[in-house]
A and B are shown apart, each in its own frame.
Chain A
């Protein structure tokens, strides 16, 4: 019942009333009905529960009576949270119908604590408070409603107060809203990471099936031409040799690029196999130790691979190291298993996460953070440097 079609909705005699005032009156009346219903229900239950309790303590004997009293004393508190929920949805529908206000229940956290125990759910007590208040408030608002046409300010105030109270007591708390927000942010970030990962795999596949095969074929044809025209004049041979060499170079560069996107062996054979290839290709000796009982989530393994890869690149570029060591272990922690990566080198140290030549290292920290992991760098001047990353195995 929006402001768009107010005339058809109200009796002729009220035609002169302001839309807002009319709405406040309707709301006060609806609030009176719901408040009375809820209040009487709760009061009634309170009376029944109280008298059952008193009767149990010093009431007339007889086991039939005692059973009845015990049942009432036990059952009422047990079903009350569900009654409170029912009343809450009634009030929510009233607010939506008369004021067009939507009070969204606390989604995830609310439900989680509800399953832990209805009385422990954060919302239950606040909602009960609202329903207790709703009876006197409903009566008060209904009485004041007679003054609304005269004092529109009062009408506005009643709507505002009703809304504020409902939001405070029937909606999610600030903490619940934040928790929900954090959860949705974490989910959307995980989705983004997964999407980026999938995209890299797709590009890798496309390049592998397309450009890479074509380039191998080109290089092979040039190689054959080079063999066949060995007796041609010098310039021809030179041109062919240059073209062949360049094709080989392009092939090598493309392969490195594609491997940097997403190493196929990582999907096929896992982190261990992918890292051993990485260690073998490094221009300095790397001792590799991988002790992972079961693989982590694919996205996490990809991040782990790239962190080790980038860390080794950094060692090669900046550390002036003679050797490096990479260890990957899966260790248990309070919040589930984590993949712990350490990359140690015997170089000159002095590496830092930010600024200077540390851009690569900053990238590593971001990579780790993208899957809720942490990365620390210990690199005193003079070395040795140790980079430790911990990534939650499930993302």
Chain B
């Protein structure tokens, strides 16, 4: 899989390159800022871009802005945004335009090498990888609420869905049987008034509803 990395710290840029290369990915470019990132994406057409939020020149949210530009110009490039802090307002910006092939993770997560590599694969395959902290923050902002109809357990399952977990993953984390997970998921669809079409599509809709967008 071909990847472009945008990260202003040389140390981390090199570290990420090494770590992804070791994981079997091909890092085609590693750049220090948003302008270089857009250039590299246009040139290499990678399958995924790993983007730091805070980059020169203003050191605020360049990464989010660049990610949104990439999504508009190159919709088939998956986006994995890394941030030293997870902030709901950045996540909202990102998710308002990108609801699939997108991830938003705390930078610390790169240290859990295997999980991080899994997240890269998941996002590149069209899924999502939201940091549990992002999900928690979005939950605070939830105002409307068919969500109130969910039991705490169902909400927990939905939360894991939003993080991008499959049924098998949820089963493993909650230590419940496959049929129990099926039941929770079906109940969630039912309570959120989601039409019985393909499961994957409904999963995405449920997550979107959950994120309040």
Name which of A156-164, A190-198, A210-218 contacts chain B. A210-218
**CB-CB < 8 A to B85: which residues of A?**
255, 259, 263-265, 277
A239 shortest CB reach to chain B, Å: 16
> Which of chain A's residues has its CB closest to B141's CB?
A276
- Chain A interface, >50% SS class: helix
**Most central of A217, A219, A286 by chain B CB within 10 Å:** A217
- A286→B140 contact, CB < 8 A: yes
A55 shortest CB reach to chain B, Å: 74
**CB-CB < 8 A to A189: which residues of B?**
none
Number of residues in B with C-beta < 8 Å to the partner?
32
> Which of chain A's residues has its CB closest to B138's CB?
A280
Contact of A255 among B60, B84, B112 (CB under 8 A): B84
B97 contacts the other chain (Cβ, under 8 Å)? no
Q: Mark B85-121, 1 if CB is under 8 A from A, else 0.
A: 1111110000000000000000110111110000000
- B111→A244 contact, CB < 8 A: yes
- Beyond A208-B84, A277-B137, is A220–B113 a contact (Cβ under 8 Å)? yes
**CB-CB < 8 A to B114: which residues of A?**
227
CA distance A209 to B12 in the complex (A): 11
CA distance A268 to B111 in the complex (A): 27
A168 shortest CB reach to chain B, Å: 57
> Which of chain B's residues has its CB closest to A245's CB?
B111
**CB-CB < 8 A to B54: which residues of A?**
208, 264
Given A216-B111, A281-B136, 15 other A-B residues pairs in contact with their CB atoms under 8 A: A208-B84, A209-B9, A220-B19, A223-B19, A223-B110, A247-B111, A248-B111, A251-B111, A264-B85, A269-B90, A277-B85, A277-B88, A279-B140, A280-B139, A280-B140
12 A-B pairs whose Cβ atoms sit less than 8 Å apart in the complex: A217-B11, A223-B113, A224-B18, A228-B22, A247-B111, A255-B84, A267-B60, A268-B60, A277-B86, A280-B136, A280-B137, A281-B133
Residues of B bordering A, CB below 8 Å: 9, 11-12, 15-16, 18-19, 22, 54, 59-61, 84-90, 107-108, 110-114, 133, 136-137, 139-141
Q: What 10 A-B pairs have minimum CB-CB distances, sorted nearest first?
A: A280-B137, A219-B111, A273-B89, A213-B9, A268-B60, A223-B113, A223-B111, A280-B140, A265-B87, A217-B11
